[in-house]
Structure 1
């Protein structure tokens, strides 16, 4: 029953969590012995620690499963946890994602979805990519509460401010943080005022997408960074994530040879726009593709800053700083290509 908790590498389940699990089990009519609880660490999470918790069900061969999410250190620097819980609850009411089963001071308990998490290779499969595009379209059409204002630029400036506060002088210089205010402003001015804005996931990596292989239905999970943003930014984030594989010996290493080419990007956007009978024309697809490419620059800054901050505040075994280096390397390279400016 060992579990890694915040600040505890090999401790027992937090008492508060144990009490919550016993209460949930009782509500479901289960007879639970604490010694019979099994804990499985699910790899691939980089902000929180995630576990599958199970216990036997009396008179049945199967067992009860829940998912426990232990909040990572320093996550309050990236998003408002209370707002994230509200989003989670709203998604649950809409039937979009797992149910929230309970909360405790270090994390929460969620419904365990009996489906598999996608792999890095799955994102490039034509059929699965089309399913993702359709599911993302559904997500974008959700009527979520709150002002429908773009959050991206304010978040980038907040992340930059936080990075400057905690960074060493060496990292300040290496990552050119003093230049990024102007870079963010330049990027923001690249886009027209009239854009398609929707409630975006903002973190469409393969580990946040689950599939039932029998029904071919998808579930998007983890809404920590979800907010209203340009649709093309959600595309950009997803395309950038195709370079990642977080289940290798070096999960921080990105392979941009796997970044989708023009045909693959257009196919995804066509599937997105064509969902529910909409006829997408080539000009519309091309326009959104171009916008997504430019928004990839914002994605690199966002996750680059996230990596720098995480390196200082999070103890999860992941080379955040090297990850940040790769994102910023791509930023300066892609800026030259996409915005027609010289590499400095």
Structure 2
């Protein structure tokens, strides 16, 4: 549903936002009539609130400007440094891998609107699209980004565990077994350090809503880099596979269906596409080793997003059952750990 922007969008100081939009309109030569600004809420975001903003171009009623407005979610500074995220956004934009940053204000920012289809939960399962995502991930992992090239996975999980313990009730701490999660983290890190891990610049949140697909050019664009950092590439692939279980556009967006987790054939096709996208045909041993690493990293993913769910449940008021989501991630961790770490 389209709504007028003035005084409607929660979490913003209207004048600060309008100042950015007026500046953009002036740069583009538009005579901006603020009464004709419209906002359409885009569903599916769980950290931020996102809107499509339009206004008539050059005072024309038949042509319009389109930008994307992102309002930062409550408590997001727990999960990442906003200034670092902005630097990442600008760096990726500068090398043509994502939308441009058009303007900033205290509660959010305005971005270039990508005129492409946002993938659906079923799209990521399509063999051709899945291969394109794999190839795009390989390019993304090869980006040379400024700053430290050290993986942040384990320090970040430990930081989130401390935060989860500090905010949650005794009841939730007991339910989620937070007293023994630190040991689980240590066990996983030790297990996953036995083999050399390829480190790359990872998206770390590659759910279907963060993947855009241009049907005409058959190209993939990855968006939303809030959690992006250097990490083991197997972790990033594992995260993407785990997201196959989610559909955030239902009446119960928090519910995960692990029957939709990719089967061995789907995982193997993805990994082969990932490894071969640079032009070299991978050896079977290389494919199998990455597949094995990816499965192990699903366990780290469950802990990572389980802790995220707990913290978000206390910090965020977006309509999403974060605690139930966290419960499912931890349940899947305890269910799959004996199978994946056997022997």
TM-score normalised to structure 2 length: 0.96
Deviation by residue 1:143-177 (Cα, 9 ceiling, x = unmatched): 11122111000000000000000000000000000
How many residue pairs were aligned?
Answer: 336
2:263 corresponding residue in structure 1: 261
CA shift digits 1:27-66 (9 cap, x unpaired):
1001110100010000000000000000011347221000
State the match for 2:50 in structure 1.
50
SS in 1 for 2:111: strand
CA distance in structure 2 between the partners assigned to 1:326 and 1:74 by the alignment: 22
* Structure 2 counterpart of 1:247: 249
Q: Which runs of 5+ in 1 are unaligned?
A: 7-11
Q: Which runs of 5+ in 2 are unaligned?
A: none
Matched with 2:182 is 181
Matched residues in 2 for 1:95 and 1:109: separation?
Answer: 17
Match in the other structure for 1:116: 117
Hey, what does 2:64 align to over in structure 1? 63
Find the residue that maps to 2:197 and give its secondary structure.
coil
User: Could you tell me how far apart the structure 2 residues matched to 1:161 and 1:108 are?
Assistant: 30
The equivalent of 2:16 in structure 1 is 16
Q: CA deviation at 1:236?
A: 0.4
Deviation at 1:283, TM superposition (A): 1.3
Instruction: From the superposition, tell whether residues 64 and 13 of structure 1 become closer, same or farther in structure 2 (CA, over 3 Å).
Output: farther
Structure 2 distance, partners of 1:102, 1:193, is 43
Matched, 1:89 2:94: no
1:30 aligns with 2:35: no
How many angstroms apart in 2 are the aligned matches of 1:258 and 1:137? 23
Match of residue 302 from structure 1: 304
Q: Distance in 2 between matches of 1:163 and 1:282?
A: 41
Which residue does 1:330 correspond to in 2? 332
Tell me the alpha carbon deviations over residues 182-203 of structure 1, each in whole angstroms, 9 at most, x when there is no partner: 0000000012252110000000
TM-score by length of 1: 0.96
- Partner of residue 5, structure 1: 10
Measure how far apart 1:339 and its partner are: 1.2
Distance 1:335 1:94 in 2: 39
2:139 corresponds to = 138
Post-superposition offset of 1:4: 3.6
What is residue 162 of structure 2 aligned with on the other side?
A: 161
**Alignment match, 2:284:** 282
1:109 deviation in Å?
0.4
Q: Secondary structure at the match of 1:335?
A: helix
SS where residue 55 of structure 2 aligns?
strand
Q: Which residue of 2 aligns with 1:125?
A: 126
Could you tell me how far apart the structure 2 residues matched to 1:64 and 1:184 are?
Answer: 48
- Alignment match, 2:235: 233
In structure 2, how many angstroms separate the alpha carbons of the residues matched to 1:63 and 1:337? 54
Equivalent in the alignment of 2:210:
208
Please state whether the residue corresponding to 2:191 is helix, strand or coil.
Answer: coil
Name the CA distance, whole Å, in 2 between partners of 1:276 and 1:336: 35
Q: Tell me the residue number matched to 1:105.
A: 106
Structure 1 residue ranges, 4+ long, deviating more than 6 angstroms after superposition: none
Deviations 1:299-332 (A, max 9, x none): 0000000000000000100000000000000000
Distance 1:166 1:149 in 2: 28
Root mean square deviation, CA, Å: 1.2
Tell whether 2:269 aligns with 1:273.
no
- How far apart are the structure 2 equivalents of 1:74 and 1:14? 21
